[in-house]
Amino acid sequence: MDFETDRFISTLVDRAPPHALEHLQLVLIPLVIAFVVAFPVAILLTRRRFIRSTERVMAVFNAGQTIPPLAVIAIFFPFLGLGREPALLALTIYALLPIARNTLVGLKGVPREVIEAARGMGMTDWEILIRVELPLSVPVIMAGVRISAILIAATAALASLVGGGGMGTIIFAGIDFFRVELVLAGTLFIVFIAILLDRVLTVVENILTTVHLKSR
Amino acid sequence: MIVLDEVTKIFPGAREPAVDRVSFQVTEGNICVFVGPSGCGKTTILRMINRLEEPTDGDIYIKGERVKDKHVNADELRREIGYVIQQVGLLPHQTVEQNVALVPRLLKWPADKIRSRVAELLQMVGLDPQEISHKYPYQLSGGMMQRVGVARALAADPPIMLMDEPFGAVDPIVRERLQDEFLRLQKELKKTICFVTHDINEAIKMGDHIVILAAGKLIQHGTPREILTAPANDFVKDLIGENKEIKLLELTRAAELVKPQAELPPALSSNGCCVQSIDPVQRALEIMLKENSDTVGVRDGDELIGAISWAAIKEYINAINANI
């Protein structure tokens, strides 16, 4: 293939941006929904009452990661058809595991003597969760969110295969028509989105992380 | 002040009870030491007093009220009881000041009252508030951390303190300092303290009353002197170990063995010749060895009231050994 610079520039500037916006939505919406689901569930799994269900529930999240997103779309095709909705669902399911697993690991990693002392002083279970366990788990939980973000940023490229839009439209057009300029432009946008997300989440993490963890 | 009545704890799935019908009392203002080998139930008993564990059977009373009935939530009970554990458990993401202020903050004290109380407590435990209030636990040494832990437990001025091997995680030199300073503090504060240790020497040093446990059962309880002079069985004798005579001399005051004597042998130097009547006899023994003398003078303040002789010490020990 030869490389036509004009076409590359015009793709970058004209054709790609609307799809970039679509792509951003395809990343942010599943990320937020996955967080809203995985985060509380993982917290519940660390509570004494539900601790025995941990393995079973984590197996569900595991499956969510292992089943390829396109297969998920195929499974839900009778209910959701093609287009944006099944793509969003598949990406949400895909994003659950890193958030759930990291929340679980983060909470379990809080030193037991800290929780024991907090209980012994008379903090309620809720106070311990909010004031001790979660603040101490922020770095690990945020690592999970960032992993999910980057995974979905890349995987969202597949959404276009089922009519879901996003940067995949440009990339697969480039593949189908042997236009490397399109593939490159599309990929650059995905990389840019991934880096942007990572930066933003890092800022969020820094705001949430308390001093003692920052100075380590 | 604290009464345990046939307290029993059987953990789910265990064949033997961890605590087996233990009954004893803790007098107000005393340090009561629970001592025994690993697994004897001493920590479990401690944790049942503030309801971190619940007894399977039996009752625990504080000031006549059942611990179970005192408050609706166990958390409220625990805010009235100081709790110190071996690994301290300071919140790593909060400063020393915030850590010490934990219970006052839970009790919603006003901010300036909290601030002055924290400064007062840090000084009480031998730390400089200016130096240390803003530091984080990872910046502290083991000894400093444990002092902060004690300050934290004292913050809301609870009448009762539960301490689980509090000085176990530091080296022996620091441990001895912490023990001495804690005893000095207790003289002022007169808290009712339940103290868990596996070290019989620490029990004898710290305890006004000792409770010896093994395999969940109460073996013997009494003052350190009672335990040393009248051990209930071979287990207690083994626990005390070989050098009980010296330990006993550490507990016996010079006043008990002093015999009137008008003058001291001239061989004794003027500086090192005497002990105070409240000093332990062991100190008199040390002077005897240092000055190569069989007699040591005993003073009450500046006044010479008599002397202790090597023979008197031997007579005392022999009498006790004859009764065991």
Q: Where are the domains of chain A?
A: 5-214
Question: What kind and span of H or E run contains A125?
Answer: helix A125-128
Which pLDDT belongs to residue B27? 93
The two structure tokens encoding residue B298? 């005993």
How near does any CA of chain A get to the CA of B50, in Å?
8
Residues of B in contact with A124 (CB under 8 A): 73, 75
Residue A35: pLDDT over 50: yes
Q: In terms of DSSP H, where are the helices of B89-141?
A: 96-100, 102-106, 111-124, 129-132
Write the pLDDT tens digit of every residue in A41-72.
999 999 888 888 888 888 888 888 888 888 88
Q: Is the pLDDT of residue B271 over 70?
A: no
The arrangement of strands across the sheet holding B274-276 comes to B274-276, B295-300, B303-309
Tokens read off for A150: 């980057």
Write down the pLDDT at residue A216.
43
Q: Cβ of B93 and A118 within 8 Å?
A: no
Cβ-in-10-Å burial (0-12, 13-18, 19+) of A29 comes to middle
Q: Are B85 and A135 an interchain contact pair (Cβ–Cβ within 8 Å)? A: no
Interface test with A, best of B51, B70, B71, B91 (most A CBs within 10 A): B91
pTM comes to 0.83
**What is the residue whose two structure tokens read 């019989």?**
B200
Q: What is the pLDDT of residue A215?
A: 45
Phi, psi angles (nearest 5°) of residue A209: -85, 135
Quickly tell me which residue has 């779309």 as its tokens. Answer: A73
Interchain contact, A121 vs B106, CB within 8 Å: yes
Residue A9 has pLDDT above 70, yes or no: yes
Single out the residue of B219, B182, B173, B86 nearest to residue A117, CA to CA: B86
Q: Evaluate if residue B96 carries a pLDDT over 90.
A: yes
Q: Please check whether residue B134 is in contact with residue B97, taking contact to mean a CB–CB distance below 8 angstroms.
A: yes
Residues 57-76 of B with CB under 8 A from A: 73, 75-76
Q: Would you state the structure tokens that stand for residue A176, as one six-digit string?
A: 């189908």
Considering the segment(s) B249-323 as one domain, its CATH architecture is Alpha-Beta Complex (3.90)
ipTM metric: 0.82
Distance from C-alpha of B200 to C-alpha of B248, rounded to nearest angstrom: 13
Mean predicted lDDT score pLDDT of chain B: 89
User: What are A31's two structure tokens?
Assistant: 């990320």
Indicate where chain B has its CATH 3.40.50.300 domain(s). 2-245
Rounding to the nearest 10 degrees, give the CA dihedral for residues B302, B247, B219, B53. Answer: 80
CB within 8 Å: A121 and B79:
yes
Look at A212 and B77 and tell me if their CB atoms are within 8 Å. no
A157's CB contacts (< 8 A; 6+ apart) are A23, A166, A167, A168, A171, A186, A190
Cα–Cα distances in Å, from B111 out to B106, B114, B116, B120? Answer: 12, 5, 9, 14
A176 part of contact set with chain B, CB < 8 Å: no
For B61-84, the pLDDT digits (tens) are 999 889 888 888 889 999 999 999
Q: Given this model, what pLDDT does residue B193 score?
A: 95
A52: contact with B, CB 8 A cutoff: no
Q: What is the pLDDT of residue B270?
A: 62
Please tell me the number of Cα atoms within 13 Å of B93 on its side-chain side. Answer: 21
Least CB-CB distance to B52: which of A111, A113, A119?
Answer: A119
For residue B14, what are the CA distances in angstroms to A85, A165, B10?
53, 60, 7
Strand runs labelled E in chain A: none
Residue with tokens 């287990």: B235
Alpha-carbon gap: B46 to the closest alpha carbon of chain A (Å): 11
Are A27 and A149 a contacting pair, CB within 8 Å?
yes
Which pLDDT belongs to residue B44? 94
Helix (H) or strand (E) holding A5: helix A5-10
* Higher pLDDT, residue A6 or B88: B88
Q: Is the dihedral of CA B87, B91, B95, B98 positive or negative?
A: negative
Q: At what angle do helices A84-108 and A16-45 cross, to 10 degrees?
A: 40
A100 C-beta neighbours (distance < 10 Å), count: 29
Please tell me the predicted confidence (pLDDT) of residue B257. 84
- Residue B267, class by beta-carbon neighbours within 10 Å (0-12 exposed, 13-18 middle, 19+ buried)? exposed
Superfamily of domain B2-245: P-loop containing nucleotide triphosphate hydrolases (3.40.50.300)
Tokens of B173: 């030199």
pLDDT band at B275 (very low <50, low <70, confident <90, very high): confident
Distance from chain centroid for Cα A58: 17
Structure confidence at residue B267 (pLDDT): 61
Do residue B91 and residue A114 have CB atoms under 8 angstroms apart? yes
Q: Quickly count: other Cβ atoms within 10 Å of residue B299's Cβ.
A: 17
In chain A, the N- to C-terminal Cα span, in Å, equals 50
pLDDT bin (cut points 50, 70, 90) of residue B266 is: low
Identify the residue among A110, A121, A134, A215 best suited for mutation to test binding to B, counting B beta carbons within 10 A and taking the highest: A121
For the cut 70, the answer to whether the pLDDT of residue A213 exceeds it is no
Higher pLDDT: A161 or B122? It is: B122
CATH 3.90.1280.20 domain residues, chain B: 249-323
Beta-carbon neighbour count of residue B24 at 10 Å?
Answer: 17
Which pLDDT does position A64 carry in this prediction?
85
Least Cα distance to A42 among A125, A93, A101 occurs for A101
Going by C-alpha positions, the residue among B281, B264, B276, B278 that lies closest to residue B315 is B281
Statement: residue A27 has pLDDT above 90: yes
Q: Which CATH number fits domain A5-214: 1.10.10.10, 3.30.70.250, 1.10.3720.10, 1.20.120.530?
A: 1.10.3720.10
Q: Which amino acid is at A72?
A: V
pLDDT, mean over chain A: 88
- B148 in Cβ contact with B88 (< 8 Å): yes
Q: Note the pLDDT tens digit of each residue in A127-143.
A: 999 999 999 999 999 99
Share above pLDDT 90 across residues of chain B, in percent, rounded to a whole number: 54
DSSP state of A104: H
Alpha carbon B37 to chain centroid, angstroms = 17
